Amino acid sequence: MDKRNKMYKVYLKPGKEESLKRFHPWVFSGAIARLEGEPEEGEVVDIYTSQKEFIAKGHWQIGSIAVRVLSFDANEAIDAAFWKRRLQTAYDMRRSIGIADHPDNNTYRLVHGEGDNLPGLVVDIYARTAVMQAHSAGMHLERMVIADALAEVMDGQIDNIYYKSETTLPFKADLYPENGFLKGGSRDNVAMEYGLKFHIDWLKGQKTGFFVDQRENRALLERYARGRSVLNMFCYTGGFSVYAMRGGAKLVHSVDSSAKAIDLTNKNIALNFPDDTRHAAYAEDAFKYLERMGDQYDLIILDPPAFAKHRDALRNALQGYRKLNVKAFEKIKPGGILFTFSCSQAVNKEQFRTAVFTAAAMSGRNVRILHQLTQPADHPVNIYHPEGEYLKGLVLYVE
């Protein structure tokens, strides 16, 4: 069946084309007046204004975001050449800014959804393997065409493409995605980040197996680690811990409630610093650990999971950040440094800052902001889609 011959038209309500005129890549279901044809989820639809003028085309999906825009050009076909062009642009950008083809680094994000004009698609590169993740029905349906285009663009750079979308697709769509290799099949999963080695668990790990987005912040932490006693709270794969070790920390304690995360952390420390007794890892709940720990730490990292996955959960999330940070402010040694993060998209920079400020005030400590951190350049923010800015961090000096 050739779907390309089918034409589906989405007509917007009057005035609802304004955000598309500013190249925002989403159409909300409430903006739609009527639909011509019966597209299935994941098929490409053309979007028209109430004046019946073409404005964009994209993947159709049932839900609050009804269309994810792929192109604003009526003449641009969504075919194999389209995917290749978009992936090539993403790769060229990363090469031109020195992230791809880096002598000490082969861990980076090649495609960051809206940030690369490919809403619903994420591709992370781990050495010779690309891990591809679909967050929309459209990207799921196109996965083989995208994988072919990816293999062409990355020819000679990668051997394997692993597809990992079991937990990222809406389940109402009845897509039943299965995780597995679309190309190759190597299980060699050690990748390099700025000269440090990491086991990447793309088979079972969270996200695509690693939190690529903290790379630059981990590198910054390394510069502050010398001689310090470090607590890496919510350590997952131990990324910050490994950098702290290389930075010359006196001791590094990694904590995560997941026993699997603690195994991964121990493996990654052993891979880089075998038999180094400065490191210990504990499987324990963050709040319990912070409550019972003493005041031995003078460098603390708080990188919790997204507390607010949806807007309704915002209040609880802000309370969570406040509670967590109060504990760190209360216990950190005088002259200590706190790296504190939020990766919740629903919490903006100001809200996160306010939660951390409130926590600081509650502890009564004197606190200065040293750095304001965000996501790295391989997780670019589409300027027309400010929601894409999700990672927020503060580095604080606590007197």
Q: In the complex, which residues of this chain contact ligand SAH (CB under 6 A)? A: 211, 214, 234-237, 239-240, 256-258, 261, 285-286, 303-305
Please tell me the distance from the alpha carbon of residue 249 to that of residue 299, in angstroms, as a whole number.
9
Closer residue to ligand SAH in complex, CB, 71/268: 268
Distance of closest approach, residue 310 Cβ to ligand SAH, in angstroms: 17
Closer residue to ligand SAH in complex, CB, 160/217: 217
Distance of closest approach, residue 284 Cβ to ligand SAH, in angstroms: 7
Distance of closest approach, residue 236 Cβ to ligand SAH, in angstroms: 3
Distance of closest approach, residue 396 Cβ to ligand SAH, in angstroms: 17
Please tell me the distance from the alpha carbon of residue 50 to that of residue 32, in angstroms, as a whole number.
9
Closer residue to ligand SAH in complex, CB, 48/234: 234
Q: Can you say whether residue 174 is alpha, beta or left, with left for phi > 0 and alpha for psi between -120 and 50 degrees?
A: left
Single out the residue of 20, 84, 36, 112 nearest to residue 391, CA to CA: 112
Closer residue to ligand SAH in complex, CB, 8/341: 341
Closer residue to ligand SAH in complex, CB, 124/303: 303
Distance of closest approach, residue 107 Cβ to ligand SAH, in angstroms: 11
Distance of closest approach, residue 26 Cβ to ligand SAH, in angstroms: 26
Exposed/middle/buried for 268, CB within 10 Å: 0-12, 13-18, 19+? buried
Closer residue to ligand SAH in complex, CB, 179/257: 257
Q: What are the angstrom distances between the C-alpha of 27 and each of 11, 19, 192, 345, 384?
A: 11, 9, 39, 18, 13
